[in-house]
Amino acid sequence: MKKLSVKVLTQAAGKAGLFLQKRSPLLLTIGGVIGLGATAVLAYKAAPRIDEIINDVEDKRNAEQEYMKLKAIPLADLDETGFYRIKDLEKDPASMMVDRVEVAKNIAGAIAAPVLTGMASICAITLSYYILNHRVGSLAAAVATLGAERAANEKFMRKSLGNDKYDELMKAQMQEDVTYKKVDKETGEVVDENAVGKRIVKKQNLTGVWFTESDEYVSDDHAYNIEYIRSVTDRMGSKLSYRGYIYLNEVLDALGCARIKEGATMGWSIADNFDIYTDVINDTDQYGEAVPKIYTKWPMPRFIFEETDYDGHYSVL
């Protein structure tokens, strides 16, 4: 049998540690939920012991009250049953005495398991929240850094190349050369098997989306599309001004485009300069004619939960 080397064992341990570290919030949450269920079971099982302790205390208090009542009766008026009952109680004084320290110890012992299990479960869930919150904070800082670098690079490129040249280069990267079958518009016959034209590169990211991917896009009315985007800009601007913040997914919803995961936590506050801009880029259709396509874009969104104050009419950083 081949022996495992120290290097292989170390790598395996490292991979296992990384796996557990990456999934520690999920594992802690699952453990916490299971622990809370176990707490309920243990508490249910501890109930009979608690009842036993309480009944014992009640019996001793009842015996003490009975003894005090019998002792208050003159000896001449006391019947035989009462007389012997007093003797029995005096022989066993512990049956009338409630030791509070002992009762507290017994109750603590009975509920120790469910209490400790519950505390451990709550600590596990709290720790998972702390880990996730720390990771989200780190991610937000990373996104903010990327956004700042992107803005700085754009500023440098615009200063170096000029706004017109920069915009031209940005539009160029949204297109690619393609070959297609060019069709005669009147006859419908293919007139060129290898016609060369331009096609837009359809992609969605944090800073823009092709409006052609929108449910609101109208292929035969470019003016309507532009006006619709302008109306969305006005609506989002009003919402931002009134509420103080908007999410990226709210903008995508208004444009009729698909949501993205990042859009649920990223957006803008009134401290940001939010606006929706448009780039019109011509696409080549099957007839070889230029068809205007609209790319909607906006400033880089950021993680807003920890940096936005939701108190008051307006939210501020």
In the chain, the number of structural domains is 2
Task: Say yes or no: 127 and 179 in one domain.
Answer: no
Please give the Cα distance from 234 to 239 (Å, whole number): 9
pLDDT at 250: 94
Domain boundary among 134, 161, 185: 134
DSSP 154: H
Domain shared by 188 and 272, yes or no = yes
Residue 98 lies in a domain: yes
313, part of any domain? no
Q: Is residue 159 part of a domain?
A: no
Query: In the beta sheet, which residues pair with residue 293?
Result: 281
Which residue shows structure tokens 């007839």? 287
Q: Tell me which DSSP letter residue 214 carries.
A: S
Indicate if 295 and 184 belong to the same structural domain: yes
Q: Note down the domain range covering 70.
A: 14-134
pLDDT at res. 314: 47
Which long-range contacts does 101-105 make (Cβ < 8 Å, 24+ apart)?
A: 103/53, 103/57
Do 42 and 103 belong together in one domain?
Answer: yes
CA–CA dist 75, 57 (Å, integer) = 29
As separate numbers, helices (DSSP H) first and strands (DSSP E) second, the chain gives 7, 8
Domain assignment of residue 162, yes or no? no
Q: How many CB atoms lie within 10 A of CB 254?
A: 20
pLDDT in tens, 24-35: 888 888 888 898
Residue 54 lies in a domain: yes
Domain boundary among 134, 149, 165: 134
pLDDT at 307: 54
Stated pTM of the model: 0.59
Low-confidence ranges of the chain (pLDDT < 50): 1, 313-314, 316-317
26/112 same-domain check: yes
In a domain, 114, yes or no: yes
How far apart (Å, rounded) are the C-alpha atoms in residues 161 and 153?
12
Cα 229–chain centre separation: 30
pLDDT in tens, 91-145: 878 778 888 888 888 888 888 888 899 898 899 888 888 888 777 777 777 777 7
Q: Among the three residues 86, 108, 134, which one is the final residue of a domain in this structure?
A: 134
265: in domain: yes
- Look at residue 153 and tell me if it is in a domain: no
Q: What is the pLDDT of residue 230?
A: 94
- Closest C-alpha to 290, from 217, 227, 197, 222: 197
